[in-house]
Amino acid sequence: MRTPPNERLTSDIAEPSLPAKAESERRCILSGDISARDSLVRLAISPDGLVLPDAAAKAPGRGAWIGVTRAELEHALADGHLRKALMRAFKGAPLTIPEDLPARIEAALARHLGDRLGLELRSGNIVLGSARIAEQARSGRIAALLHASDSSEDGRRKLDQAWRVGNDAEGSGERGTVLPLDRTALSVALGRDNVVHLGVAGHAGDMRAAERVLQAVSRLVHFAGNDRTRLTHDDGRDLPGDASPPSGGAAAIDEYVKD
């Protein structure tokens, strides 16, 4: 079929752009707060009714979501509020809530972070060794900087300074994240000896690996109650208590957790 004279082969009307996909949200069954799904922890029930953490949020069936800290969960478990909330979430299904559920959740989140770090290491996105981290940090090739809970203040300070130089953030007091995992736990997770510090490779234009790691870090840090790990005074000095090793450690990685 012949195209009529002066008629365009394509439409003059621009195709409407598709709206950005909304981030999935869930409501915490204990606080009632609505948050991004990836920032919450999913609980699922086994076929025999045992309530278990589902850190990867992949278990089949109905789930319940929590966004509270471990201390808040322990209180809700002790006063019966957790059982009531779970009964509502699971529509009255028979439930067994293990007394060590808070510990199981923290262990599951630690294992999930360890798995993520292992995946990023195999993909070439993890930088190890203080000298190598410092060199790449100064050149702006480290998107996220992480420290073991038992790392020395001096070691953290030197790498943090190199990271600020690479980020053009000198004088900002910005620092890497102190994890609620010690060097033994990180070494187990990565299959390497004496992992004290690690960098996630990336730059301003490519933060994908860092975002994946920091999402797993954020959930663990929040649940463990260690949100102070990135806080500083305006002059960059540590807040009181910031250098104390947080809870967790090697046991958090080694403990078996059924997701």
Q: What is the helix (H) or strand (E) element at residue 144, kind and residue range?
A: strand 142-147
Residues 223 and 124 in one domain: yes
pLDDT attached to residue 126:
97
Range(s) of the domain holding residue 139: 106-254
Greatest Cα pair distance, the chain, in angstroms, is 80
Query: What's the predicted TM-score (pTM) here?
Result: 0.78
Clarify whether residues 53 and 131 are in a common domain: no
Please, are residues 119 and 111 in contact by the beta-carbon 8 Å criterion? no
**Residue 203 belongs to a domain:** yes
| In a shared domain, residues 134 and 250 | yes
> Among 78, 99, 120, where does a domain finish?
99
Report yes or no on 237 lying in a domain. yes
Q: What is the mean pLDDT of each run of 10 residues along the chain (259 residues)?
A: 46 42 85 95 96 96 96 98 97 95 97 96 96 96 96 97 94 94 95 96 86 96 71 32 34 34
Q: Does residue 171 share a domain with residue 132?
A: yes
Residue 11 lies in a domain: no
- Through-space distance between the first and last CA atoms of the chain, rounded to whole angstroms: 61
Q: Which CATH number characterizes residue 73's domain?
A: 3.30.1230.10
The whole-number pLDDT of residue 117 equals: 96
| 246 occurs within a structural domain | yes
Pair 68, 126 in one domain: no
Look up the CATH number of the domain holding residue 118. Answer: 3.30.1330.30
Percent helix, strand and coil across the chain, each to the nearest 5: 40, 15, 45
Backbone conformation region of residue 201, classed left if phi is above 0, alpha if psi is from -120 to 50, else beta: beta
Number of domains making up the chain: 2
Of 43, 67, 99, which residue is a domain's last? 99
